[in-house]
Amino acid sequence: MKPEPITVTSLNKYIKNKVAEDEYLKSVFVKGEISNFKHHYTGHMYFTLKDENSLIKCIMFKSSTATLNFSPKDGMKILVLGSVAVFERDGIYQIYVKAMQEDGIGDLYKKYEELKNKLEKEGYFDLNHKKKIEFMPRTIGVLTSQTGAVIRDIINVSTRRNPNVHIRLFPIPVQGKGAELEIADSIRLMNEKQLADVLILARGGGSIEDLWPFNEEVTARAIYNSKIPIISAVGHETDFTIADFVADLRAPTPSAAAELAVPDINEVNTKIETYKSRYKNALKKKIEYMNLRYQKCMASKAFTDPTSKIKELYIQLDNQIKILENTIVNKIKDLKTNALEVMSRLDTLSPLKTLTRGYAIAEKDKKTIKSIKDIKKDDIIDLKFIDGKIETKVI
C-alpha cells in the first residue's frame, strides 16, 4: 500500500515544529565569518555566517541591532547568540540573531589588508603612475563575464552616448578559483595585440569571496603593467578591491565606467557649436576693431599725405639751424667785445705805454733795475726808450 503524499507546506511545517521543539536550538552561541552582509533600509541585517567548510544564513532584526557597538561588514569574524528556526515559506533554516560581538578579522580581510599595504609601499597606487583616459576612444575593451547585466549595461550606456564607439568584449571568469590568472592573461593579451584604446575591468556586486580574484597580486601587477589605461568597475559603489586602487580610474558601477570611458557625443557637439559661436563673435569684434583703426588711420595726414611729416621735420630742422647760426654769431660778437676790452686794459698797463711819455727802462743782464742798490760803478746797463735802446756805463 502506497503512503499518502503530503504537501510541501505540510513537510516544511513538520520540520519547523521539530526544530522548534529542540531545546538546544533555542539558544545557540556560534562563531564564524560574515559574508554577503546587507543592512536593509528597514533596519534589519541579513548575512551569511561561514567557516572553512560550511555556512548558515542569519537575520538580526532592527530591535536587536540597536545593541551593537560596531558596524558589521564582510570579512569580520564574529560571535552570535540566537535561535535556529525554519522559515516555512522557503523551506530554509537560519539563525535569528539576538546579540553579536566581534571575534577578530577574517582571514580574507587580513590578506586583503596585507597585500594593500605591500602594493602601496611599492608605489602601485601613486597618482603619477595613473594613465590619462583618451578623450574620444574608438574601441572600448571590456573584460567581464560574457553573459549577465554588466556587459548589457556597458553596451547600452556606451552606444547611447556615442553610437560610433566599438565595444570589444573579452570574456573572463569573474569569480572562482584561477579566475585571477585568466584576468591577468586577458589584460596582457589586450596590450600585446593593441586591441583597445581603453579597458573596462568589470563585474557586479558580491561577497568578499566572489570579488577575491580582483584582490589577488597577479591581477594587481597585470593592471599596473598595462600600457592601455584601465577603468576598474568591480562590485557595488561601497565595494573596494585592490584592482580599484591600482587602476588608472575607478568607477562605482559598470554603467558609470561606460560613462567615464565614452563621452556623450551630443554634449561634445553642443560644446563645438558653442565654441564656433564664440570664435565667430570674437572674429566679428576683431574685424570691427581693425576697421575702426583703419578709419582712424585714413583720417590721419600720415596716410592722406605721407610726405607731410617729412616736410614738417625739414621745417623744424631749418628753424633749429637758423637758431644755432644766430647763437654762434652773437657768441662771436660777445667774445670780440670782451677781447677788445682786455686788450685795452693790457695796453694801459703795458710798460711800453709809459715809454711813449718820455720815460726809459733800465736793465742789467736783461733784468729790470728797480733800485739803485742793484747797480755799482762801472756796470754796463741798458736804457730802453720807445724807439730803441742804448748801452751806458755807470761812473
Mean pLDDT within 114-132: 94
357 within some domain: yes
30 within some domain: yes
Q: Which pLDDT score is estimated for 43?
A: 92
Distance (Å, rounded) from C-alpha 175 to C-alpha 172? 9
Residue-range definition of the domain harbouring residue 328: 304-347
Percent of the chain residues topping a pLDDT of 90: 52
Q: pLDDT, tens digit, for every residue of 33-81?
A: 999 999 999 999 999 999 888 999 999 999 999 888 888 988 888 999 9
323 with 380, same domain: the answer is no
248 within some domain: yes
Q: Which pLDDT score is estimated for 238?
A: 73
170 with 192, same domain: the answer is yes
- Residue that wins the pLDDT comparison between 294 and 202: 202
Q: pLDDT, tens digit, for every residue of 6-22?
A: 999 999 999 999 999 99
359 with 380, same domain: the answer is yes
Mean pLDDT within 296-320: 75
243 with 161, same domain: the answer is yes
**Of 263, 280, 295, which marks where a domain is finished?**
263
Cβ–Cβ < 8 Å for 103, 203: no
286 within some domain: no
Mean pLDDT within 135-151: 92
293 within some domain: no
Q: What is the CATH number of the domain that holds 222?
A: 3.40.50.10550
39 within some domain: yes
50 within some domain: yes
Mean pLDDT within 147-167: 93
Q: Annotate the chain with three-state secondary structure.
A: CCCCCCCHHHHHHHHHHHHHHCHHHHCEEEEEEEEEEEECCCCCEEEEEECCCCEEEEEECHHHHCCCCCCCCCCEEEEEEEEEEEECCCCEEEEEEEEEEEEEECHHHHHHHHHHHHHHHCCCCCHHHCCCCCCCCCEEEEEECCCCHHHHHHHHHHHHHCCCCEEEEEECCCCCCCHHHHHHHHHHHHHHCCCCCEEEEEECCCCCCCCHHHHCHHHHHHHHHCCCCEEEEECCCCCCCHHHHHCCEECCCHHHHHHHHCCCHHHHHHHHHHHHHHHHHHHHHHHHHHHHHHHHHHCCHHHHCCCHHHHHHHHHHHHHHHHHHHHHHHHHHHHHHHHHHHHHHHHHHCHHHHHCCCCCEEEECCEECCCHHHCCCCCEEEEEECCEEEEEECC
237 with 115, same domain: the answer is yes
CA distance to 358, 389, 391, per residue, from 382 (Å): 16, 7, 5
- Report which of 83, 82, 87 is spatially closest to residue 16, judged by C-alpha positions: 87
180 with 322, same domain: the answer is no
Q: Which pLDDT score is estimated for 223?
A: 97
Q: Which pLDDT score is estimated for 302?
A: 58
Q: Which pLDDT score is estimated for 309?
A: 75
- Residue that wins the pLDDT comparison between 183 and 297: 183
Band (241; pLDDT cuts 50, 70, 90) = very high
150 with 240, same domain: the answer is yes
Q: pLDDT, tens digit, for every residue of 89-102?
A: 999 999 999 999 98
Q: Which pLDDT score is estimated for 179?
A: 94
Mean pLDDT within 190-207: 92
Mean pLDDT within 181-197: 96
148 with 259, same domain: the answer is yes
Ramachandran region, residue 366 (left: φ > 0; alpha: ψ -120 to 50; beta: rest): left
278 within some domain: no
149 with 238, same domain: the answer is yes
Q: pLDDT, tens digit, for every residue of 350-372?
A: 666 666 666 778 888 888 887 88
234 with 141, same domain: the answer is yes
Band (224; pLDDT cuts 50, 70, 90) = very high
pLDDT, averaged across the chain: 88
The structure's pTM equals 0.55
Could you tell me the end-to-end alpha-carbon distance of the chain, in angstroms, rounded to an integer? 204
220 with 116, same domain: the answer is yes
- The vertex-129 CA angle with 202 and 151, nearest 5°, equals 10
Residue 154 pLDDT exceeds 90 = yes
Count: domains in the chain:
4
203 with 217, same domain: the answer is yes
